[in-house]
Amino acid sequence: MLKRILLTGVVACLLITNVFAQNPWRKGIVKDEFIYDKAPYPECHAATIAETPTGLVASWFGGTKERNPDVCIWVSRFVGGKWTEGVNVANGIQNDTLRYACWNPVLYQVPKGELQLYYKIGPSPAKWKGFVKTSKDGGISWSEQKALPEGFLGPIKNKPVLLKNGTLLSPVSTEGKAWQVHFEATKDFGKNWTMIGPIGDGKEMKAIQPSILTYKDGRLQALCRSQNRAILSTWSKDGGQTWSALEKTLLPNNNSGTDAVTLKDGRQLLVYNHVLPPGNLAKGARTPLNVAVSKDGITWYAALILEDSPISQYSYPSVIQTSDGMVHVVYTWRRQKIKHVVIDPSKLEMKEIKDGVWPKVEGYTPPVPTGETKDL
């Protein structure tokens, strides 16, 4: 039995080594793991991660299938070097006869304060409403559910950003008559909210799910998912009060979620599917899953390929940088599991992305996706 266990371990190590050897776009990855192996539901999606004073906390939604009424919000904590079993912390039960799906949790740790969990409940993204729960013990126990003020949704997919002036700025979007981006701001961590935007009318530039980046000169940038075959960008020079018109970046978008974070050294790190949909289509396969880095938010450098299997999908990343300098990414793995990857940003080797084309590396051929995703 012992020999069998040892042999199994050796084989596993060789397989991992072989995967890394075949993919040169893995330099800088410190850890690559699943948050769970088994769950009491078949599908999961839209993970989020935050660092608390007691450790990492992750959340996602899980159920029979996205949009189904049994989809709930689940939470796991990183304790003793392992992720705890996911705990159901929120559902969409309205009354004895009506239940809606839960959607897109977003975690935010208030500095020296509570851990906030924002999420949506409703039959669809066009009709959902925003809710929040809080935890005073790093995600072990949670408060009662509280509805956000009428008309406010909270961060739609990606984390809020605390600005130097003390404003917590949430990246928000709507999917009703048009895809539009706006922002929701609070100076008291959620007691009172104000709305900024929307940015554009959603007719030509159709964007949702922004992520916010900050610059040393005070500027802000938001990068957005779109139906325009490219990641869209908008800028603010006045602390998020006004924003420039949405414009296409040189990076492709497959109409799937992205996330980005400003690193402590001032660089910007983006996690996304570097996929240009075929023909004139707006939506493409959600593989590969890539990491790019930029100093100015305009010129981007290829850094990592987190997943490159031809089997879709690897999607909806959430990314943070923790106090030790490491970058943590969680994302959907084929709708079956949630993946957690740890990256050392000081060890990234980068090549410039020119004309929106991911750089070629000798000896590495990216796989051809097996099909397009039809999921949200």
Half-sphere exposure of 324 (CA within 13 A, CB side): 11
Contact 231, 223 (CB under 8 A): yes
Question: What pLDDT sits at residue 5?
Answer: 40
Instruction: For residue 108, list its beta bridge partners.
Output: 116
Question: What pLDDT sits at residue 11?
Answer: 40
Q: Per-residue DSSP letters for 251-279?
A: EE--S---EEEE-TTS-EEEEE-----ST
Instruction: For residue 1, list its beta bridge partners.
Output: none
Report CA 147 to chain centroid distance, whole Å: 23
Question: What pLDDT sits at residue 252?
Answer: 98
Question: What pLDDT sits at residue 91?
Answer: 98
Contact 237, 219 (CB under 8 A): yes
Identify the segments of the chain with pLDDT beneath 70: 1-22, 370-376
Cα gap 88→269, rounded to integer Å: 31
Question: How large is the C-alpha radius of gyration of the chain?
Answer: 20
Question: What pLDDT sits at residue 286?
Answer: 97
What number of other Cβ atoms are within 10 A of residue 48's Cβ? 30
Look up the pTM and report it: 0.93
Q: Is 347 helix (H, G, I), strand (E, B) or coil?
A: helix
